[in-house]
Amino acid sequence: MSIRRIAVLAAVLFAIAGMSAQEKPPKPRAEARFGSHLPPAAIAAMQSIRPGNIEQQVRFLSHDLLEGRGTGQRGGDLAAEYIATQFALYGLKPAGENGSYMQKVPMVGITPGADTRFTLVPGSGQSSDIKSTDIKPLNLKPLDDYVAYDQTQQPESNIDAEIIYVGYGIEAPEYNWDDYKGVDVKGKVLLMLVNEPFSDDPKFFTGKALTYYGRWMYKYEEAARKGAVGAILIHQTKMASYGWEVVRNSNSGEKSYLRLDGTPKLKTAAWIHLDIARKLASTAGKDLDKMLADAESRDFKPVSMNFRLSAHMTSNIRRFESNNVIAVLPGSDKTLKDEGVLYTAHYDHFGIRPDMTGDNIFNGAMDNATGCGIVLEIARVYAQAAQKPRRSIFFSSVTAEEQGLLGSEYLGKHPPIPAGKISLDLNYDDVSPLGAPEEVQVSGAERTTFYPAVQAMAQDFHFKIRPDARPEAGHYYRSDHFSLARVGIPAFSINAGMKFKGHDEAWGLEQDADYTAHHYHQPSDEYQPGMDYTSDTAMARFGFALGWEAGNQAQPVGWNKGDEFERPRRASQ
């Protein structure tokens, strides 16, 4: 049976089960008064959002039959077909290509070959090197010692290049920071730190909150722009905000990229384990701790490691197309219907890892079947509402988030309507079912002109707005809303905070820490019966109310003056 026929059958069965379950009216809940300033039709639609519907979507999308929803794999394609069929059953109009719900995303899958070699060799290749026959090359073991991909999308590349330590690898003139100091790094391999210089000063790299300069994507992009052939990030759990196992799992097997677009690419984009970095430094006669400390100064200058990277990169190349799924509810206003509000959630996860023994399906129940379940439920109630917002409401489930926000990057560059006409993107990613939330996290909303409305709505819902629990982790730059922000669209994600009814804050923090340590990007992120989807329901209702508000405002949402995304917003309008 074809993927499309399976998806249609599954969606129809789900719809029948859902209609059967909905024959009984929901019991009155305390949340019924929330959003009371909205029109009656919007309140009625919002109150019809049900935890059971979200749970069943999570159960299906994270089922073993969907094989972990890998990008460009059968399970991922099946998930996209299922979501498109759900949109069709709700009566939403297709907003993809050629009258369909699908937006084709041209991609390349790269799998490192078994004969790839990654060796750190003493000597920079300069005549001034001190010769030593006592120092042996460091032959690194894939996954345990390093991970690396060839971004050039060539089946084979050879590298023999000097390694230069460039601190954080950041050039940020607005913060008077330059780690390169004019040094020519063309043809070199750059060793660098993830994250960015630390400061309590909110005007210096925004203080504790990570900026895009601290993200690994920026590091690779900047290294390629400067002509380097490779970049190696030193992993530290504290600075990356996740352990080596996450790096390993996120960079195992096939990794997807958008097809080449003319921008510079690296022959090797790599991470190395902290233990390997220490061994490299000590073998080179350097102190890694001092190297880390030196990188905190504006006076830092690039340093040759007196080592070369000798690498033979082989890659199995697979060209394919994945899909973003896009639907629209046309607006009711004759003029404003040409503008829109967008809801997003990624449907992909890591698929199946053949080299792993035991359970090797990365089901991704929390990450991100929950977000998809929420967006599907919001879409359902918008479609059934007796009244429609003035602006059009778009719903998109995007691909390849786990591969580096690729689906949303493509969506941002090829939106269903011009980016300047999209007033707001509300994104959902990894919303754990932990019960009734007393807080909401909307990190990034404070950067937009919509924040007063967010504050008012939170008060209406009796939510305390929780500041980002770990601003140093750079969450704003790690989910799909960021791709929309990069093209100027005001965007942020919605999630519950750490305080839940019947529990203290410590309990919520403990749940979050346990998930990150034991389930995030691991096969154990699975659907578990009996979890309390009250939290997902509350976040869906809150997001519905915010979207309705943005869809009816006289003026579109903007970025606050001076924000880093204000310029692309102006350019898009």
- 364: amino acid identity, one letter: G
Q: Which residues contact 133 (CB under 8 A, 6 or more apart)?
A: none
Q: Residue 130: its pLDDT value, please? A: 46
pLDDT in 10s for each residue of the chain, 573 residues: 565 655 555 655 455 445 434 444 444 343 445 666 799 999 999 999 999 999 999 999 999 999 999 999 999 999 999 999 999 999 999 999 999 999 999 999 999 999 999 999 998 765 444 455 568 899 999 999 999 999 999 999 999 999 999 999 999 998 999 999 999 999 999 999 999 998 888 888 877 778 889 999 999 999 999 999 999 999 999 888 889 998 998 888 888 999 998 899 999 999 999 999 999 999 999 999 999 999 999 999 999 999 999 999 999 999 999 999 999 999 999 999 999 999 999 999 999 988 889 999 999 999 999 999 999 999 999 999 999 999 999 999 999 999 989 999 999 999 999 999 999 999 999 999 999 999 999 999 999 999 999 999 999 999 999 987 677 777 888 899 999 999 999 999 999 999 999 999 999 999 999 998 999 999 999 999 999 999 999 999 999 999 999 999 999 999 999 888 999 999 998
* Residue 36: exposure state from Cβ atoms within 10 A (0-12, 13-18, ≥19): exposed
Q: Is residue 18 part of a domain?
A: no
Q: Which of 317, 351, 386 is the last residue of a domain?
A: 317
Q: Which of 269, 290, 317 is the last residue of a domain?
A: 317
User: Do 133 and 47 belong to one domain?
Assistant: no
User: Do 540 and 431 belong to one domain?
Assistant: yes
Q: Is residue 322 part of a domain?
A: no
User: Do 122 and 189 belong to one domain?
Assistant: yes
Q: Is residue 1 part of a domain?
A: no
User: Do 80 and 137 belong to one domain?
Assistant: no
User: Do 270 and 362 belong to one domain?
Assistant: no
How many angstroms separate the CA atoms of 364 and 522, rounded? 8
Q: Which residues contact 240 (CB under 8 A, 6 or more apart)?
A: 194, 195, 246, 247
Q: Residue 204: its pLDDT value, please? A: 86
User: Do 249 and 372 belong to one domain?
Assistant: no
Q: What is the DSSP string of 363-422?
A: --IIIIIHHHHHHHHHHHHHHH-SS--SSEEEEEEES-STTTSHHHHHHHHS-SS-GGGE
Asked if residue 134 lies in contact with residue 142, where contact means CB atoms within 8 angstroms, the answer is no
Q: Residue 193: its pLDDT value, please? A: 97
CA dihedral 447, 449, 452, 457 (to 10 degrees): -90
Q: Is residue 556 part of a domain?
A: yes
User: Do 158 and 286 belong to one domain?
Assistant: yes
Q: Is residue 5 part of a domain?
A: no
H or E, element range at 157: strand 156-165
User: Do 72 and 154 belong to one domain?
Assistant: no
Cα distances (Å, whole numbers) of residue 160 to 163, 192, 272, 447: 10, 18, 18, 44
Asked if residue 306 lies in contact with residue 124, where contact means CB atoms within 8 angstroms, the answer is yes
25 C-beta neighbours (distance < 10 Å), count: 7
* Residue 141: exposure state from Cβ atoms within 10 A (0-12, 13-18, ≥19): exposed
Structure tokens at 391: 């602006």
User: Do 146 and 167 belong to one domain?
Assistant: yes
* Residue 358: exposure state from Cβ atoms within 10 A (0-12, 13-18, ≥19): exposed
The CATH number of whichever domain residue 362 belongs to comes to: 3.40.630.10
Structure tokens at 195: 């994250």
> How many domains is the chain partitioned into structurally?
2
Q: Which residues contact 567 (CB under 8 A, 6 or more apart)?
A: 488
Which pTM was predicted?
Answer: 0.85
Q: Is residue 323 part of a domain?
A: no
DSSP-assigned letter for residue 136 = P
38 C-beta neighbours (distance < 10 Å), count: 20
Q: Residue 22: its pLDDT value, please? A: 46
Q: Which of 277, 296, 317 is the last residue of a domain?
A: 317
User: Do 90 and 150 belong to one domain?
Assistant: no
User: Do 91 and 188 belong to one domain?
Assistant: no
| Domain boundaries, position 185 | 111-317
Residue 504 φ then ψ, to 5°: -90, 175
User: Do 77 and 127 belong to one domain?
Assistant: no
The CATH number of whichever domain residue 130 belongs to comes to: 3.50.30.30
H or E, element range at 102: strand 102-112
Q: Which residues contact 41 (CB under 8 A, 6 or more apart)?
A: 385, 386, 387
Q: Residue 241: its pLDDT value, please? A: 84
Q: Is residue 6 part of a domain?
A: no
Q: Is residue 434 part of a domain?
A: yes
* Residue 245: exposure state from Cβ atoms within 10 A (0-12, 13-18, ≥19): middle
Beta strand spans in 483-548 (E) = 491-493, 495-496
